[in-house]
Structures are given as structure tokens and as C-alpha cells.
Amino acid sequence: MPLILHAHPFSSYCQKVLTALYENETPFEMLLLADADSFAELERLWPIRRMPVLIDGSQTVIESSIIIEYLALHHPGPLRLIPQNPKLALEVRFLDRFSDQYVMTPMQKIVFDCLRPAEARDPHGVGEARAMLQKAYRWLDQRLAGDEHPWAAGKKFTLADCALAPALFFADWVEPIAPSLANTTAYRARLLKRPSFARAVDEARPFRQYFPPGAPDRD
């Protein structure tokens, strides 16, 4: 029985898992979350109603980072997205949390605020989210300094890069990365050229018109 991923290609957290699946050419079937029936099934599997959700036979796996950890345990491929070395693995997991907490979350705050009625918008909260993104960009720029860091955790592509790829992709759309942050800008460009993430980006192109703040004519 194939792996089944309940997901949408334009979701940042779904792209995180799709990048991991494509990195190792892991066979799976995607069930597109696009109508009332598909979301009803998602809610049956996970009442919180957040995507993606992975089904592996009788096993239901929830949350993007846990799905990638699960794949590493039960469907490993040639590329280890989580290093065997415990210290390196801890660093990768930290960077994954950094991405989700300090890049993905504030980015989504800005995006979701655009969906609110004008009278219910939160300009103060959006301002805080933009400030957090700028802090995250600067911290990442310092971390990426030097040739030893082509990827977030060093020389090998890992879970951290699966997380940062969609996070930085969308974050730069809503709160641009300053040109002076050359390391972060170059890293985002490398991520866009990575075949696994490039595939996820290309598959999502038909949905760009639905990006609430408006998608820029680039990337």
C-alpha cells in the first residue's frame, strides 16, 4: 500500500514534506485538499484540521517535522535528512524549530491577517511579525557566513533545509530579505535551485493567484 499524503502543493508546511519525499524519491500518493469532502476526511484523521497528514497503512502521522522523522525511520532513502551523529542531529532539529517558530510562524501571521475583514486586522501583531522576520534573517545571515555552510547545518542538505526552503520562499514575498544580507539571499537562491524544492515550487505555480497578499512576479 503506497504512502498517502493529505496535502496541498501551495502550503508551506506541505512543501516542507514534499521536499523531503522528493529528495529520496520516496513513492507516495498525494490526496489534494481542495474541497469540502477532502477537508472532512482531513478532520476525521486530525481534528485540528491542519495539513499535511501522512497515512502509512494503519499509521497516521501528523505534523511536518514528525512526518519527515517518520520517513527517516520507516522509509529511509539514500540521503539522511537527520544525521546519525546525535550532536549534529540536535543541531538540525534546532534549525528546524528555528525555521518553524521564527520564520514560518511570523510569515503566516502576515498572510493570515490579509484574510481578515479590514476592521478585524491586527497591524500591531503584523508589525511584530515583520520585526521577528528581520531578526531571523539577520541571525541566519551570520550563521551562514563562510564556505563551510552551503546548507543550514553544514555541507549536507537536511531536515533543516526542507523547513527553511518554503519558509524563506514565502517570507521573502511578504517581508523582503535586505540585499545587504548576502548570505541569506544566496542561501534562498540555492534552495530554489535544489531539484526537490524546485519541483515543489513548480507544482504550486498554478495556485499563486490565491496568495492573500498577492504573489510577486518572480521566483
Looking at residue 146, its pLDDT comes to 80
Looking at residue 119, its pLDDT comes to 97
Average pLDDT over residues 69-79: 97
Average pLDDT over residues 98-113: 98
Average pLDDT over residues 72-84: 97
Confidence class for position 149, pLDDT limits 50, 70, 90: confident
For the chain, what is the mean pLDDT? 97
Q: Kindly list the distances between the CA atom of residue 7 and the CA atoms of 42, 49, 104, in Å, as whole numbers in the listed order.
A: 9, 11, 17
Question: How far apart are the two ends of the chain, measured CA to CA in Å?
Answer: 36
Looking at residue 158, its pLDDT comes to 98
Looking at residue 181, its pLDDT comes to 98
